[in-house]
Structures are given as C-alpha cells and as structure tokens.
Amino acid sequence: MEWVKALHVLSVIAWMAALLYLPRLFVYHAESPVGSPQSETFKVMERRLFRGIMNPAMIATWAFGLWLAFGYGLVDFSQGWMWLKAVAVLALSGIHGWYSRLRKDFERDANKHPSRFFRMINEIPFVLAIIIVIAVVVKPF
C-alpha cells in the first residue's frame, strides 16, 4: 500500500505541475502573433506538455487514487471530507478537459481570450489543490 500511496502522490505532483504550467504557456502564447515562430513553438510545447505529462499524470492519479480508495478500503464515504475531496478532484478533471479545449483553440489559431484571462485561470487548480490537501490532512468534517 505504501508504494501505491507514493505513486499517487508523485502522480498528483506531476499533474498539478502541468495544470499550473499550461496556462502560463497560454499567457505567452496569447501575446504572440498568430503564425509567428513563437506561436508555433508554443503549440509544440503545449501539445507535448498535455500529451506527454498532463494526460498520463491525470490517468495515474486517478488509477492510484481509486486503487487506494477501493483496493485498500481507505475511504469512508460517511465522512464529509472525502466528498469534498472527490468533488474537488472531479473539478480538477473538468479543468483538465477545459484546458484541452483551450489548447486546441490555440492549435487552430482560434484563441479568443487575452493573456489576462489565462493569468486569472492559472490560479484555479491551486485553489482546488488547497481544498484537497486540507480535506485529506485536516479532515475538518
């Protein structure tokens, strides 16, 4: 079980790093002229980050998390903190999907958002991470 916990934590770290880095790439990409060498470089960076790190890390996070929850019976769904964590993880997964759509907009040179928008959404995954960590460690309810 300790190995599964370790792999879950490592997967979460990789997923969070990607969720925090991708919008930063979007900030700079939004400031680059369409068709410019910088814009084309950002497309490659975003695609590689998404497909090479973000997707595998999310899948591993879910796989190891479900393994811990159901394989080892670590989850007591009668406790509120677990539901809070579950909702926050589902929200992170939704953001992951939203970022995928935003990345595809950039790939098609169809981004409609200014760099300020991406600066603001960059904070959302971290707020959810705070909620998840407090729910799991403190178990407030």
Structural domain containing residue 43: 2-138
Residue 73 has pLDDT above 90, yes or no: no
> For residue 62, what are the CA distances in angstroms to 10, 68, 104?
12, 10, 23
pTM of the model: 0.94
Task: Read off the pLDDT of each residue in 31-60 and give the average, rounded to a whole number.
Answer: 98
pLDDT per position as a tens digit, 86-105: 999 999 999 999 999 999 99
Residue 74 has pLDDT above 90, yes or no: no
Residue 51 has pLDDT above 90, yes or no: yes
Q: What domain count does the chain have? A: 1
Q: How far apart are CA 75 and CA 35, in angstroms?
A: 50
pLDDT per position as a tens digit, 5-16: 999 999 999 999
